[in-house]
Structure 1
Amino acid sequence: MLLPGCGGSVAMLGCLAGHTVSRVSEKPSRIDIALYVAGSMSRGSAISASENLTAECLQVVDGELVPQEEEEASSTLQLDFDNGAGPVTNYPVTLPDLITLRRSTAVPNIRTFVHAAGDAFPSGGNLAALPDGPTAEQRDAAPYHAAVLVTAADGSVKRSVLHTVNGYTFTGKASAEAAGKVLAGVVRAGFQTPAEVFGRRFVEVVEGSNVVDF
């Protein structure tokens, strides 16, 4: 499933998960991570999301990408994004972060979720008639958040939350920062994630981004 600022979510969730995994003293065994999507969606993101909502929901189990069982795919997760809304319902979805998080953290079990606030996911109507994307004012009014639970082998859990700007804004700014680092020689050969190449604090290069631990 592609979400608003999907390219940016790899950096957002990768850095957040890497940070929280580093807080776990025992070997981490599971990551449950969710993205709080707010504000209006672009035409491309809306069409992609509508096409994928009925697709098979995936997860990582023992290091392998596998379909969720029917009861698992309908199970929700309550998470508090530390944004004043309290615990909210998050729905399981297939995010590309299933692959990138497995790569960057080596945690064997991973599930990804989304909470859509307001009209983030348009329903009905002619999606092709939607605008190219939200205006600057709309983006400023709809910041994103992410929350993660990392479960250790002994059953203990660490939780962290990321507060950041709107996904579309984040993607542009993070991409520019990444390009600057690559031009400065901060590179690695082969397939890499932002968190692997630039470190788990890379998310903080985007003004307005900060991680809170619980």
Structure 2
Amino acid sequence: MQARDSQLAFEIAGRNAAQVAELAETLGVPFRVFALDDPAAIRTGLAGMTAVLHCAGPFASAAQPLMDACIACGVHYLDITAEYNVYALAQARSARAPAAGVMLLPGVGWDGVPSDCLARYLAAKVEQPLHRNMALQVANSMSRGAASSVGEIVGVGLLVRADGAIVAKPDATPQRFDFGAGPVDCVPLSFGDLITAWHSTGIPNIALFVNIKDNILPQEVAAMAAGPSLKERVANRASVVAEVTASDGTVVRARIDTVNGYSYTPLAAVAALSLLVAGQVKSGFQTPATVFGAGFAVSIADTRIIDMA
């Protein structure tokens, strides 16, 4: 709906012909149907497109064939995931993409946009930033797709970036972060910001945490709702907190306060596509901050950065 209301010219695509056709009729847009296990079919399906916004999670299994087809067809790739493995895939293809004039830009939703822009915002405040800790808050129930993506994220194990390298840290312990209502426990987790924050800022030491309201068991995912209700989204705003420590010991902290993540994601993704169509493109693997600047996150309505003591 957000894409339609933005006046972007777009088509939708998917693997289930009946479902795709039904949604296309509702939106009043053309549609395409192709599977992701046939490289030739994907390339045919991408013909004539400027960019692809991949929205179907979990993303890890579908991202590689879609990215490769985008590079082959000269089509920009965007998605809304936080899955670490997808960012690693994009980064590994960064040398191939520029020759095709293709931008690989995962993470144009929540939390990718706020966390990446916040990292760049804080890094600019100090000389020689060395450490960055970040936590995001998941205050409401998750959708089936998001819960499946969390399974992919958990599956990579506990990782940190240390002296520029990604290393396993199975003994990582929880830390406390303040999202505006007092410190709360946040557990370590490995998502795409381990790659994006490094790419956007060059900070060599990065650790990530999350405060999750509900623990989801794998067998419960199929029975989950498609997403939180409008009432639940309105009642639960999204927040990302980060702190950056410089080589001289200076510490700067800030948080982003914004609308619920399920509301923020379509707004940010469509804004990214609109800027892309207007010419804001850099080939190769990119992050929201490297393409659109640190201010992109707060360009989304009802979003603000709050500096913290």
Report sequence identity in percent: 38
Per the TM alignment, residue 54 of structure 1 is displaced from its structure 2 partner at its CA by 5.8
Aligned to 1:76: 174
Contact 2:154 2:190 in 1 (8 A): no
Aligned to 2:128: 27
SS at match of 1:39: coil
- Check 1:124–1:193 CA distance in 2 against 1; reply closer, same or farther (3 A cut): closer
Structure 2 Cα separation of the partners of residues 184 and 52 of structure 1: 33
1:148 alignment partner, one of 226, 242, 246? 242
2:141 alignment partner, one of 12, 20, 40? 40
Per the TM alignment, residue 153 of structure 1 is displaced from its structure 2 partner at its CA by 0.4
Per the TM alignment, residue 134 of structure 1 is displaced from its structure 2 partner at its CA by 1.5
Per the TM alignment, residue 10 of structure 1 is displaced from its structure 2 partner at its CA by 1.4
Contact 2:188 2:209 in 1 (8 A): yes
Question: Number of paired residues?
Answer: 204
TM-score, normalization: structure 1? 0.89
- Structure with bigger gyration radius: 2
Amino acid at match of 1:57: L
Asked if 1:56 is matched to 2:157, the reply is yes
Per the TM alignment, residue 192 of structure 1 is displaced from its structure 2 partner at its CA by 0.9
Structure 2 Cα separation of the partners of residues 204 and 5 of structure 1: 19
Structure 1 Cα separation of the partners of residues 151 and 218 of structure 2: 10
- Check 1:197–1:141 CA distance in 2 against 1; reply closer, same or farther (3 A cut): same
Q: Summarize deviations over 1:27-46 as a string: whole Å, max 9, x none.
A: 10000011011111001222
Aligned to 2:307: 213
Contact 1:29 1:152 in 2 (8 A): yes
Which runs of 5 or more structure 1 residues have no equivalent in the other structure? none
2:192 alignment partner, one of 89, 96, 99? 96
Per the TM alignment, residue 122 of structure 1 is displaced from its structure 2 partner at its CA by 3.0
Amino acid at match of 2:130: S
Amino acid at match of 1:94: S
Aligned to 1:13: 115
Contact 2:153 2:191 in 1 (8 A): no
Which structure has more RCO (C-alpha within 8 Å, separation ≥ 6)?
Answer: 1
Structure 1 Cα separation of the partners of residues 152 and 121 of structure 2: 32
Runs of 4+ in 1 over 4 A off after TM superposition: none
Which runs of 5 or more structure 2 residues have no equivalent in the other structure? 1-57, 59-79, 83-106
Aligned to 2:47: none
- CA RMSD, aligned part only? 1.8
Deviates more, 1:90-99 or 1:43-52: 43-52
TM-score, normalization: structure 2? 0.62
Aligned to 1:177: 271
